[in-house]
A and B are shown apart, each in its own frame.
Chain A
Amino acid sequence: MKPGRRVWAGVALVAAALLVLPFALSQAGTAWVRIADLALLYVLLALGLNIVVGFAGLLDLGYIAFYAVGAYAYALLASPQFGLHLPFWAILPIGAALAALFGVLLGAPTLKLRGDYLAIVTLGFGEIVRIFLNNLSQPVNITRGPQGIAGIDPVRIGGIDFSRTDRLMGMTFSGPTKYYYLLLALLLAIVVINVRLQNSRIGRAWEAIREDEIAARAMGIDTTSIKLLAFALGASFGGVAGGMFAAIQGFISPESFVLVESVMVVSMVVLGGMGNIPGVVLGAVLLAFVPELLRWTVEPAQNALFGRVLVEPEVIRMLIFGFALVLVMLFRPAGLLPSAVRKRELTHHE
Chain B
Amino acid sequence: MDIFVQQLVNGLTLGAVYAIVALGYTMVYGIIQLINFAHGEVVMIGAMVAFTVINALAAAGLPPFLVVLAGTACAIPVCMLVAYAVERLAYRPLRAAPRLAPLITAIGVSIILQHLAMLVWSRNVLAFPQIIPLVTYGFLGATITGVQLAIVGLCFAMMTGLALLVYRTRLGTAMRATAQNPQVARLMGVDVNRVIAATFVIGAALAAVAGVMVGTYYGVAQYTMGSVLGLKAFAAAVLGGIGNIPGAMLGGLLLGVVEALGAGYIGDLTDLCRYGLGPGDSCADGGHFVLFGSNYQDVFAFVVLILVLVFRPSGLLGERVGDRA
Binding site for B on A (CB under 8 A): 57, 59, 61, 109-110, 112-117, 119-121, 123-125, 127-128, 131-132, 134-135, 138-139, 212-214, 259, 263, 266, 270, 311, 315, 318-319, 321-326, 329-330, 333, 345-346, 349
Contacts and interface: CB of A to CB of B under 8 A. Distances in A.
Interface string B184-197: 00000000000000
Interface of B: 33-35, 90, 93-94, 96-105, 107-112, 114-116, 118-119, 227, 231, 234-235, 238, 282, 288-291, 293, 295-296, 298-299, 302-303, 305-306, 309-310, 313, 323-325
A109 B311 CA distance: 9
Given A125-B306, A318-B114, A349-B98, 10 more contacts: A112-B313, A112-B323, A114-B323, A116-B103, A117-B313, A134-B295, A138-B293, A263-B111, A322-B110, A346-B98
Q: Which 8 A-B pairs have the closest CB atoms?
A: A325-B108, A322-B111, A124-B302, A322-B112, A326-B108, A115-B99, A135-B295, A329-B105
20 contacts: A115-B99, A116-B99, A119-B35, A124-B235, A124-B305, A127-B299, A128-B303, A131-B299, A139-B289, A263-B111, A315-B118, A318-B114, A319-B112, A321-B108, A326-B90, A329-B97, A329-B108, A330-B94, A330-B105, A349-B96
Given A115-B103, A128-B302, A330 B35 contact: no
Contacts of B102: 329
A213 B325 contact: yes
Contacts of B119: 311, 315
Nearest to B322: A114
A121 B305 contact: yes
A279 to B, nearest CB: 15
A57 B103 CA distance: 13
A26 B282 CA distance: 53
B112 A135 contact: no
Contacts of B296: 131, 135
B56 to A, nearest CB: 24
A117 B99 CA distance: 11
A263 B99 CA distance: 17
A322 B108 contact: yes
Contacts of B35: 116, 119-120
Nearest to B97: A349
B223 to A, nearest CB: 10
A139 to B, nearest CB: 5
A120 B108 contact: no
Given A139-B291, A349-B97, A330 B90 contact: yes
Contact of B109 (A109, A127, A131, A322): A322
Contact of A263 (B93, B107, B305): B107
A115 B100 CA distance: 7
A226 B88 CA distance: 38
Given A117-B313, A124-B305, A315 B115 contact: yes
Given A128-B299, A131-B299, A266 B104 contact: yes
Given A116-B34, A123-B231, A131-B298, A212 B325 contact: yes
A130 to B, nearest CB: 10
Contact of B99 (A114, A123, A322): A114
B103 A119 contact: yes
Nearest to A211: B325
Nearest to B303: A128
Contact of B93 (A57, A115, A127, A330): A330
A325 B109 CA distance: 8
Nearest to A106: B306
A132 to B, nearest CB: 8
A81 to B, nearest CB: 19
A325 B310 contact: no
A109 B295 contact: no
A184 B291 CA distance: 42
Contacts of A124: 231, 235, 302, 305-306
Contact of B97 (A138, A311, A333): A333
Nearest to B310: A109
B193 to A, nearest CB: 17
B288 to A, nearest CB: 8
Contacts of A125: 302, 306
B97 to A, nearest CB: 5
Nearest to A127: B302
A270 B101 CA distance: 10
Nearest to B95: A349
A268 to B, nearest CB: 12
Nearest to B29: A116
Contacts of A134: 295
Contact of A120 (B109, B227, B282, B305): B305
